[in-house]
């Protein structure tokens, strides 16, 4: 995980035994509590989502019983629960993050980072099981927390639940230790994230099973396609039942409990924001490309040119010599895309937009106007795109096809509401990001999605399951 750089780590023996929330082989539940949302939390969530994107570029049985690990829900943007580290246990609030694989908390030796003074810090001198070995990994004592993101965070650290393939320095993740020590009954864990702001329970994380009280019907399962993040194949994306075209041949996605929003390719997110009336920051570069090349793009498509060659023929993209290989998630070198020129990204967006309009028999003039509208709907750098709170009933559902089934989000589910009364604001839960090939294009289905669909992370069968949350 990118944030792990620059931290000092130390070994703690019998790590799992010291994490007081785990004791015996049975389902372990972690409850969550609920608080309301504000704009700053949305902006912080967007920043963390973009950090995740940068890092990316580089059947369980229904089991009842067992203890619960409470998960607090701070403003629909941070879900976290309590663990204990050391002997005797020192309590910490952590994000249970399926998008990373290491455990870290602030260290009492963190002196120069403001964020450390706002959170509980691990004191190695108070633990009888502590042993320092000078390594840069295993159990992380973060002696630096740069930037402002962690200053306002309501959690102390992160407990990664991703695969060992993305564990920094190949450290064995806590989840793997739990399995090895027989601390859970089944090799599966599941999330229920409560999105009801009127309830105090924030949600629940169950280790070793699933809670049948928190989902309806049966789960739809899809295999993990790439171990590291919990990555799987995503089929088409639809707006009001209509295909957006870009993922008609398939995209990839990850289920990520550590990301607050729902992020995807900028071109599709722009179409979604246009459909729901969200207002973002005008991209002058987008408008410039549309003005200079929009008509030619349409003409080439009408002439039946291979869409994959249109932007290259205009000199905006490089034509790949062959099919790119699949980059390992363990590669530390930066992944360089063939499409490094930002004009190429805009061209490819405009290409998809124009194709969708041609399918609806739009005229060239109508397509040109539409492309300019979408340029205006590109999300702002901070990710927040405002919508009219009174227009939710007119907004379309947005669907994601997983294992041949459409999982739809309603406006009430994908719009974040901030404040109450006349001061209330509404913000789109969709964030545009572009993970370049071969890792992308990629969707990050964060808490906006997982709050609607109960999610099972079936480690034993290497698959994910989604069912309507209850």
> Distance between CA atoms of 441 and 320, rounded to whole angstroms?
16
Q: Are 80 and 96 in contact (CB under 8 A)?
A: yes
Concatenated DSSP letters for 347-389?
HHHHHHHHHHHHHTT--HHHHHHHHHHHHHTSPPTT---EE-G
pLDDT at 83: 78
458 belongs to the catalytic site: no
Is 97 annotated in the active site? yes
pLDDT of 64: 31
Catalytic residue among 70, 76, 97, 458: 97
Select which of 76, 256, 434, 458 is catalytic: 256
Residue of 449, 448, 450, 444 whose CA lies nearest to 53: 444
pLDDT at 4: 29
DSSP 23: -
Among the residues of 204-313, which ranges form H helices? Answer: 266-276, 284-302, 307-313
- Distance, in Å, from the CA atom of 251 to the CA atom of 202, rounded to the nearest integer, reads 31
The per-residue pLDDT for 440 is 78
Say how far apart CA 204 and CA 216 lie, in whole Å: 16
Among 178, 170, 161, 151, CA closest to 9: 170
Q: What is the pLDDT of residue 452?
A: 96
Q: What is the mean pLDDT of each run of 10 residues along the chain (470 residues)?
A: 28 30 55 55 61 54 38 60 77 86 79 64 68 59 55 73 89 91 92 76 88 95 95 94 83 91 88 85 71 92 91 81 32 34 82 92 92 79 74 95 96 86 82 80 93 97 97
Largest Cα–Cα separation, the chain: 74
Q: 């805009």: which residue's tokens?
A: 346
């Amino acid at each position: 995980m990118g944030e792990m750089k620059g931290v000092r780590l130390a070994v703690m023996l019998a790590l799992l035994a010291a994490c007081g929330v785990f004791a015996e082989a049975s389902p372990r539940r972690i409850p969550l509590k609920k608080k309301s949302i504000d704009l700053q939390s949305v902006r912080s969530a967007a920043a963390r989502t973009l950090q995740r994107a940068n890092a990316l570029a580089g059947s369980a049985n229904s089991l009842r019983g067992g203890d619960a690990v409470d998960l607090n829900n701070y403003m629909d943007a941070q879900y976290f629960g309590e663990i204990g580290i050391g002997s005797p246990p020192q309590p910490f609030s952590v994000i249970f993050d399926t998008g990373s694989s290491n455990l870290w908390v602030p260290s009492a030796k963190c002196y120069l980072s403001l964020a450390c003074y706002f959170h509980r810090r691990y004191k190695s001198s108070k633990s009888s099981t502590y042993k320092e070995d000078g390594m840069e990994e295993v159990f992380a004592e973060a002696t630096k927390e740069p930037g402002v993101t962690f200053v306002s965070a309501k959690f102390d650290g992160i407990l990664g639940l991703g695969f060992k393939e993305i564990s920094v320095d190949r450290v064995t993740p806590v989840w793997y230790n739990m399995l090895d020590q027989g601390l859970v009954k089944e090799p599966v864990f599941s999330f229920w994230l409560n999105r009801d702001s009127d309830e105090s329970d924030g949600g629940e994380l169950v280790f070793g099973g699933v809670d049948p009280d928190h989902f309806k019907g049966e789960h739809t399962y899809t295999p993990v396609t790439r171990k590291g993040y919990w990555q799987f194949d995503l089929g088409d994306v639809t707006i009001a039942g209509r295909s957006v075209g870009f993922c008609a041949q398939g995209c990839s996605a990850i289920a990520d409990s550590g990301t607050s929003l729902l992020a995807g390719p900028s071109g599709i997110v722009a179409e979604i924001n246009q459909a729901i009336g969200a207002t973002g920051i005008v991209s002058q570069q987008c408008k410039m490309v549309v003005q200079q090349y929009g008509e030619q793009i349409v003409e080439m498509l009408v002439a039946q040119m291979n869409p994959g060659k249109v932007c290259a023929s205009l000199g905006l993209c490089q034509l790949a010599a062959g099919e790119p290989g699949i980059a390992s998630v363990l590669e530390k070198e930066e992944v360089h895309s063939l499409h490094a020129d930002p004009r190429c990204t805009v061209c490819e967006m405009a290409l998809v937009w124009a194709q969708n309009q041609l399918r609806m028999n739009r005229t060239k003039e109508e397509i040109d106007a539409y492309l300019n509208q979408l340029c205006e709907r590109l999300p702002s750098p901070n990710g927040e795109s405002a919508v009219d709170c009174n227009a939710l009933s007119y907004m379309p559902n947005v669907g994601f096809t997983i294992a041949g089934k459409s999982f739809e989000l309603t406006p009430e589910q994908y719009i974040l509401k901030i404040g109450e009364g006349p001061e209330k604001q509404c913000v789109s839960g969709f964030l545009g990001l572009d993970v370049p090939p071969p890792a992308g294009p990629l969707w990050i289905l964060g808490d906006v999605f997982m709050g609607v669909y109960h999610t099972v992370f079936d480690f034993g069968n290497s698959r994910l399951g989604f069912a309507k949350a209850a």
